[in-house]
Amino acid sequence: MIKEIRMGALALALVFCFAVQASAAANTDYGDIVEIIPLEINAFSFGRINGEYLENVRFTVSGGDGEYEYALAAGVLAADGSMEGSREVYRSSAALGQEVVLNCDLRDRLDSYDNYALILNVWKYYGQLELNESAIAKGTFSYVNPNTPGAIEDFRVIVDITDHTVYINYADWAVLSAQSYLIMVDDGSPEVYFAALDNDKSGAAVLFEEDASSLIIEVSYKDSNGRQSGILKKTVEIVDFVTFEVDEVTANAQAKISYATPRDIVVKVYVSKGNVFYSGVVDEDFQEIKLSGSGFFSVNLFEFDNLISVEYDSGDNVTVIKQASVHRSSIGAPVLILPEHAGAISTGMDTFDIAGLTEPGTAIAVNGLPVSTENDGSFIHKVELLDGENIFEITASVGAGNVTSQSVVIIKTTASSGNGADDASVDSDNVFLLGSFIAALLFVLFMFIFRKRFAKTWGKNKLQAVINICRNISAPFFVIAAAFFGYTGLRYSTSNRNVNSRPFAESGLLDPVAMYDGIQKNQMNRDEFLKSAKMLIVVGVIFGVLLAASVLYYFISKAVKRPKDTAG
């Protein structure tokens, strides 16, 4: 490319020389000009960048006698090698045939760039005629201007999938000295959006094509001196992680929103009056909900028009927004909060506790059966499960006609029997109890086998020795069973009190999976408590019977022994 530029410049110089000679021959004003020697640039090169100086720039220009003028310029080379423009950095004059060596000061003359070419333009006047030549030095150089505005570090992007609008927000990082902001948005269509905004703006909203899979956004700015900063480029993938549906008209105080998502994601749900989106107002009320798989969640509605906005972070400071409008046609229906947005609940247990929250004084029914509520509106109801899918309709009603209803789907695995797979967890908690029984049994047997008293009793009365062994073995079992009964009772009491609370029901909005885990754990605690109660009763009866037999045998043996002593 450089060679082509040089050949072109030489051709122009020769044409120019011939034109001048022809003109001199025809014009008496140039009768003194006999011959014009073309200018020729030799050994044009440069050294390295040292600070803000381009060192050791060297060249020699031949072409007769006298002086000539020259100018050095930095040309901007594009990726394909073409010249996109140039800027003069030095100008002076020198004698023909003499080597020029200088250090070129680039300070405040160039912007930061990685691929500059050094250009030399020379010219000499013959009266009113000008002879010129140019050359490009071999190699390129890069320059970092310390006064060049730095690139923007980052910018927030809000992608509205519903309206197919992207909002570039730079209010948080606005450069105070900026003269204007330059924004380019490419959605893959032939049209590319470009805008220059004054610094009193906080961002720009741009429509993009519905079928766009990604957006290329470039943002930069110009400072008060007109110098442009580096360009920050961001590629935004249009990926819809959450799909949802909602009825456009409802008479309930809440809207039930069904959703599906391929990954676990936390979303912010805003409900605004009317049909105008909140546009990122930070003090707007919102719910933060954790979604997983498919299911549904509920939001409270205002009277008449509501705009529901679901917002989530897709990474790289990009926020995705989806919207839906809902019209509430009546008022008065009570609020009913169920953590049902975990989707269908799967369990291997025979029963399940349905927990929820409503307004105080509201009547709750599950499949038509009334359910008692706490003073704060929280409730929990135990339901029996059949194999497969179980659907329970929960209604909250205040007065006549003011009813809110929702459904909960619980799937009982067909492989379960009794408490099913959850039995393993319950039984695993009894390992300590079983180990304690075995240790107590070994201890008692050891004591009675090797103690002299046992040997003496065995020698005198084998029946009494057997009764004593059984009684002493059952005694530590009874103590351990009583301790385990107290432990499981305390654990069940604590978890049951937590499940029957308003904060527990409200927590289901953020993390329904954790809430259902808590409900099932409470049921397991209840089952363990009931098992420990049965165990205590069985061990207590055995211990009581053996203790009574031991005492009764003692008195009987005393009564039998006394007459014998009297007779003797």
Residue 74: the pLDDT is 94
Architecture of the domain spanning 336-412 = Sandwich (2.60)
Please tell me whether residue 481 adopts helix, strand or coil conformation: helix
DSSP string, 51-116: TTEEEEEEEEEESSSSEEEEEEEEEEE-TTS-EEEEEEEEEEEEETTSEEEEEEE-TTT---EEEE
Q: Give the C-alpha separation, 221 to 223, whole Å.
A: 7
Q: Give the C-alpha separation, 140 to 86, whole Å.
A: 13
Strand segments (E) across 137-192: 141-143, 156-160, 165-169, 178-186
Q: Give the C-alpha separation, 123 to 135, whole Å.
A: 12
Averages of pLDDT over runs of 10 residues in the chain (568 residues) are 44 43 44 71 93 93 92 87 86 94 88 88 90 93 81 84 85 72 87 78 84 88 78 84 75 76 82 64 65 77 83 85 81 67 68 80 86 82 86 80 77 57 47 64 60 55 66 74 85 81 67 70 83 84 78 71 54
Q: Give the C-alpha separation, 204 to 219, whole Å.
A: 11
550 in Cβ contact with 466 (< 8 Å) = no
Backbone phi, psi, residue 519, to 5°: -65, -45
Helix extents (H) in 313-407: none
**Residue type present at position 11:** A
CATH number of 2-143: 2.60.40
**What pTM does this model have?**
0.46
528 in Cβ contact with 488 (< 8 Å) = yes
Q: What angle do CA 64, 70, 75 make, to 5 degrees?
A: 135
**Per-residue DSSP letter, 228:** B
| Assigned superfamily of 156-237 | Immunoglobulins (2.60.40.10)
Q: Give the C-alpha separation, 300 to 257, whole Å.
A: 11
216 in Cβ contact with 264 (< 8 Å) = no
DSSP string, 414-468: TT--TTTTHHHHHHHTTHHHHHHHHHHHHHHHHHHHH-HHHHHHHHH-HHHHHHH
Residue 3: the pLDDT is 45
Q: Burial level of 272, CB count in 10 A (0-12/13-18/19+)? A: buried
308 in Cβ contact with 324 (< 8 Å) = yes
337 in Cβ contact with 377 (< 8 Å) = no
388 in Cβ contact with 361 (< 8 Å) = no
Sheet holding 388-397, edge to edge: 345-347, 403-412, 388-397, 363-366, 369-371
Residue 424: the pLDDT is 43
Residue whose C-alpha is closest to residue 105's, from 122, 88, 82, 86: 88
Q: Give the C-alpha separation, 282 to 49, whole Å.
A: 49
Q: Give the C-alpha separation, 228 to 220, whole Å.
A: 7
Domain 243-328's class? mainly beta
Q: Give the C-alpha separation, 535 to 486, whole Å.
A: 12
371 in Cβ contact with 343 (< 8 Å) = no
Contacts with 252 (C-beta within 8 Å, 6 or more apart), sequence order? 301, 328, 333, 404, 405
Residue 408: the pLDDT is 80
**Per-residue DSSP letter, 37:** P
